[in-house]
Structure formats: structure tokens, C-alpha cells
Amino acid sequence: MKLATSLKAAMIGMAALAVAAPASADLLEDVKAAGKVVTATDMHYAPFDMLNNGTYEGMTKDLFDEVSKELGVEPVYQDIPWPAELPGLEVGKFDIIIAPVTITPERQERYAFGLPIADATVGLVRAAASDAVSKPEDIAGKTVGVQQGTAQFKQLEAYGESLGGVTIKEYGTTDEAYADLAAGRLDAVAGSFPNLAYLVKNRGETFALTEPATFGEPKYFAWAMRKDDNSASFVAAVNEAILKMHDDGRMTQIQEKWLGAAPDLPREVPAN
């Protein structure tokens, strides 16, 4: 009786595992079978991602709409706070992070990156009415805001140390940092150059770039995916779509629409 009960329980357990098992061990196949690709981004990062009266728009959306067409699936866009995105990707809450992620050697050890979609060199913005910070080195001994958990934070931290010290204040979103800068609670805000240039273009009466506007080594933004065998074909398909957009002019058109220019971008993922 006990043996029969044990066998019955084992068979039920095996059946449950079979039901729970994924349809395949290939993410691209799963995405195509589902007819959708589930994404994560922070919709408070203009001009890449923003909410306009509750509607998601921006350069990232325009780019990924086109990638989704190439994959033959519908995109599912989710507004996820940046600090939760990389952990969420690792546990499979979504298929890809389309928030612009700065490619760094440390991240490349853990995640697979798509081809660069934009320049991500770090820069500084100041209050237009103040000349306390006119060039990057002027932030020595001052208070600078930056979005928490970003590569720009690490670059600002290293640059501040080289200047003898900078007080860094972290924010959940860049919008919060910009608000404090406008209110006089910060001396500058560090961020990627495209974001800061877009901010100054649209709010030049309030904000201005330092001269020069950037510091540190050139960096690039890309989309992050899981780095495993199951995701390899999905990563390759995303990159193939991006290359096609380079070749047929869609990448240039979208860059010029949102950034005002189309900078040259690598056609390969930068090596560590």
C-alpha cells in the first residue's frame, strides 16, 4: 500500500513538473510562439523613454517598435524603476531591458548586450542662471546629483575623487535631480550626454551644459538581455534587426528625430 502510494505521488509530481516546464529551451522560439516580447524600461528618461499624458513615447519605443516588427511579435512595454530592472531580468520577469543601459566591462560579464543604440558618455548640466560650475572640474567640493545605480554614478564618483572630493546625491529618477538643480539644491547634475543635451534643448532658460559638456571615456547605451544558451538566438535576432535598421536608414531617421543628430555607432558590441 505504501509503495503504491509512493509511486502514485511520484507520478503526480512528474506530471506537475511536465506542466511547469517551459515549452522550449530557446527564448526566441518562446517569444515567437507567444507572439509577444516582454520588455522593461524606466519611462522617466527623456528623450529615450517618457510618459506624455500617460502615453509611452521616446526614442527607445520608436527603435523597439521596429525591432519587434522584424521579430514578427508585439512588444509589451512595462514601466519598471531602474534599480529593479537588472535583478528582474535575471529572474525572468521580462525578456529584455530596453532602457538605455551603459555597456561596462563589469556588466558584460553578467549580461548579454545588443548593439549600441546611442552615445552614453557622461556629462554635466548646471543651472543656467548660475556660473558656479562652468566646466567639469568646477564641481570639486560641490554637490552633484545623479541617478542611483547607473554607470554615470560610478564615473562621477571616480571623477570626483580625482578632483579631491565631490558630494554626490543619488536620485531615483533624473527628473527628481533636475528639479533639485532648478531649485538651487544642487550645483550640477551628471548624466549621459544625450539626455542632458535634450534637457537643455527643451529647457534652455533653466539649464545649461558645462564647457566642455562631457568628461571621462566614451561610453555607449545598449539593451541588456540574459547571458545564457537559451537567450543566444534571441540576442542574435535583436542585433540582426538593429543592423538592418542601420542599413535601411531607420536608425538614422529615429536618432535625428529625438537627438537632432545621428552619431556614428559601432556595428559590433564593444569588447571588455
User: How would DSSP label each residue in 3-57?
Assistant: HHHHHHHHHHHHHHHHHHS-S-S-HHHHHHHHTEEEEEB-SEETTTEEEETTEEE
In a domain, 229, yes or no: yes
- Phi, psi dihedral angles at 78 (to 5 degrees): -125, 135
In a domain, 68, yes or no: yes
> 196 and 224 share a domain?
no
CATH code assigned at 93: 3.40.190.10
CA dihedral 134, 140, 145, 149 (to 10 degrees): 130
pLDDT at 20: 38
pLDDT at 263: 83
Say which range, 13-27, 127-141, 182-196, has the weakest mean pLDDT: 13-27
- Phi, psi dihedral angles at 27 (to 5 degrees): -65, -40
- Name the burial class of residue 52, with classes exposed (0-12), middle (13-18) and buried (19+) by CB atoms within 10 angstroms of its CB: exposed
Report pLDDT digits (tens) over 65-81.
Answer: 999 999 999 999 999 99
pLDDT at 261: 81
How many beta carbons lie within 10 A of that of residue 172, not counting itself?
15
> 161 and 113 share a domain?
no
pLDDT at 14: 36
What's the CA gap between 119 and 263, in Å, rounded?
8
In a domain, 265, yes or no: no
In a domain, 226, yes or no: yes
> 199 and 139 share a domain?
yes
Average pLDDT over residues 180-208: 95
> Has residue 22 got a pLDDT over 60?
no
User: Residue 199: which pLDDT band, with cuts at 50, 70 and 90?
Assistant: very high
> 114 and 132 share a domain?
no
| Angle at 209 (CA atoms; ends 118, 211), nearest 5 degrees | 100
In a domain, 130, yes or no: yes
Average pLDDT over residues 33-51: 96
> 58 and 190 share a domain?
no
> 106 and 223 share a domain?
yes
Contact status, residue 37 vs residue 76, Cβ threshold 8 Å: yes
Average pLDDT over residues 209-216: 94
Per the structure, how many domains does the chain have?
2
Report pLDDT digits (tens) over 86-98.
Answer: 999 999 999 999 9
Contact status, residue 190 vs residue 123, Cβ threshold 8 Å: yes
> Has residue 6 got a pLDDT over 60?
no
> 41 and 89 share a domain?
yes
> 102 and 52 share a domain?
yes
Helix, strand, coil % in the chain, rounded to nearest 5: 45, 25, 30
In a domain, 233, yes or no: yes
pLDDT at 24: 54
> 208 and 240 share a domain?
no
H or E stretch including 209? strand 207-214
Average pLDDT over residues 11-26: 46
In a domain, 4, yes or no: no
For the chain, the average pLDDT equals 90
Domain assignment of residue 102, given as a range: 24-119+219-259
- Phi, psi dihedral angles at 241 (to 5 degrees): -65, -40
List CB contacts of 101: < 8 A, sequence separation 6 or more: 86, 107, 111, 113, 221, 222, 223, 224
> Has residue 23 got a pLDDT over 70?
no
> 238 and 109 share a domain?
yes
Average pLDDT over residues 40-48: 94
CA 4 to chain centre: 55
User: Residue 262: which pLDDT band, with cuts at 50, 70 and 90?
Assistant: confident
Say which range, 24-28, 30-34, 171-175, has the weakest mean pLDDT: 24-28
In a domain, 254, yes or no: yes
pLDDT at 156: 96
Predicted structure pTM score: 0.77
> Has residue 111 got a pLDDT over 80?
yes
> 29 and 100 share a domain?
yes
> Has residue 105 got a pLDDT over 50?
yes
> 56 and 168 share a domain?
no
